[in-house]
Structure 1
């Protein structure tokens, strides 16, 4: 990975941890938070999307791209709702590392399926990083057993990780399609265009689901708690916009997903300082393994 990509992803990780803390501290539910947080960036980017479509040409957007976008948005919607549901049942310091850890190996396996190879160092680093992430939620090493993770919060965290895996792989493929099959936009412009399209799709998926399930109370709830969710949405847009651009600078998206795990360090620090969550020595060990895993994978 280039130095530029590394710096961008680390900065995005700080923003990512920040909006997760906002999501935990907010009073809205998972659905209402996710709806407003995804709708806000789309509204702000809508004039830009119109301009991009005029440059690319709507007729040049084929079904291949649209299917990638649709399933990516479903993955993003699953992630957004599940991560807030996970926080309803546990501390950010406990749930956030699990949400971030599992996609590292999942995406690595997924990229193998689509024909992208990883080095031995990468797999070793990813494994160390994942172990570190799974240690961070514990209060003592004696809790390192399956029963410590057998709760509803962890289940939601696992579902969120699956959503992350899905959209991470598909987003890279969608960006590749835009770069290869369209003309008139730079890599940076393509990344922002795709970001806006993804938020359009994600908010549409969430809204359709709420309407189909006759869950109008969540829409009302979204109106009540729109301020905090909107701020989180703007931070989320900045975060993933940077990540999408970084994806255009690397061949294998697994390295981006792995480096984003530095957000665990930020998330733990913010959980302690902002949300007054407790610090344990085993969490320090977990953070050390996360950093070690990143160094092994990327050097």
Structure 2
């Protein structure tokens, strides 16, 4: 990875942990908050999206790109809803590390399967990051057992991790295809910003559709209206969170244009776990245990080995 790519991903990690703090404070309205945050980001970026498409030509992008974009949006939606629902069943110090770190090994395995090489030190780094995240949620090493992780919050965190794995791999393929098709017209940073905005729309539209379908199946139109009303009530905090989401992943997408192996970016993004733990302790008054200190050390050591 280039030095610029490393700096961009570290900065995105700090912003990512910050917007998760807002998500934790709105745990009673996971779906509405997800819709409000992603919808606000999509609307803010819409003028740029129209300019970009007009400049490159509406028919320039291939069907394969739009298919990847749709898949990515669905994976992002799985991650976002999974994470916010998980927060309803556990504190940010437990949910956040598991949801963010499990994709390290998952994406590493997928990229290896796709033919990209990783040296033994990088795999050791991936393992250390994952082990650190299994230790971080514990208040004592005596709790290091299967029972500590068999609960509903961790289950939803695993769903969020699957979403992260999916969009990380798909986004790397999509952004590579996009820059290849428009490199003669648009710079990589502008293409990354375009993809970011389109991805938010790819999240919002399926989310609206799923809410409508669920309400129709349950014959609960009033519930559908209530979610939309709650979305509007959350617009202020959600707009802030949506802007932070856009900044976070926009930086990551730009870094992807400079890096061949996306698993390295996914590993480096786990610095946000450390930031999230510190924020949870300082602002949400969550307890700090010795186990969290050991876990943080393992995560940081794993990141250094990975790089």
Normalised TM-score (structure 1): 0.98
Whether the 8 Å contact between 1:126 and 1:297 is mirrored in structure 2 is: yes
Whether the 8 Å contact between 2:28 and 2:88 is mirrored in structure 1 is: no
Q: Aligned residue for 1:277?
A: 286
Q: Aligned residue for 1:120?
A: 120
Residues in 2 aligned to 1:123 and 1:27: alpha-carbon distance in whole angstroms: 35
Q: Aligned residue for 1:196?
A: 197
What is the CA deviation profile of residues 10-56 of structure 1, one whole-angstrom value per residue up to 9, with x for unaligned ones? 11100000000100012651111111111111111111101110122
Whether the 8 Å contact between 1:24 and 1:84 is mirrored in structure 2 is: yes
What is the CA deviation profile of residues 93-146 of structure 1, one whole-angstrom value per residue up to 9, with x for unaligned ones? 111000111000011111123222212111111001110011110001111111
Residues in 2 aligned to 1:236 and 1:213: alpha-carbon distance in whole angstroms: 26
Residues 30-179 of structure 1: pairs in structure 2 closer than 5 A: 30-179=30-179
Residues in 2 aligned to 1:175 and 1:12: alpha-carbon distance in whole angstroms: 18
Shift in CA distance, 141/282, structure 1 to aligned 2, threshold 3 Å: same
Is 1:8 the counterpart of 2:17? The answer is no
Shift of 1:213: 1.0
What is the CA deviation profile of residues 172-222 of structure 1, one whole-angstrom value per residue up to 9, with x for unaligned ones? 000000111223110100100000000011011111111111151222211
Whether the 8 Å contact between 1:28 and 1:222 is mirrored in structure 2 is: no
Higher mean C-alpha displacement, 180-189 vs 271-280: 180-189
Residues in 1 aligned to 2:190 and 2:233: alpha-carbon distance in whole angstroms: 34
Residues in 2 aligned to 1:150 and 1:82: alpha-carbon distance in whole angstroms: 16
Normalised TM-score (structure 2): 0.95
Residues 169-248 of structure 1: pairs in structure 2 closer than 5 A: 169-182=169-182, 183-214=184-215, 215-216=223-224, 217-248=226-257
Residues in 2 aligned to 1:189 and 1:78: alpha-carbon distance in whole angstroms: 26
Secondary structure of 1:43 counterpart: helix
Residues in 1 aligned to 2:140 and 2:256: alpha-carbon distance in whole angstroms: 37
Secondary structure of 2:138 counterpart: coil
Higher mean C-alpha displacement, 57-66 vs 258-267: 57-66
Residues in 2 aligned to 1:56 and 1:116: alpha-carbon distance in whole angstroms: 31
Secondary structure of 1:58 counterpart: coil
Shift of 1:164: 0.3
For these two proteins, the number of residue pairs brought into alignment is: 298
Whether the 8 Å contact between 1:126 and 1:258 is mirrored in structure 2 is: yes
Residues in 2 aligned to 1:228 and 1:133: alpha-carbon distance in whole angstroms: 28
Secondary structure of 2:269 counterpart: helix
Higher mean C-alpha displacement, 88-97 vs 22-31: 22-31
Structure 2: where are the runs of 5+ without partners?
216-222
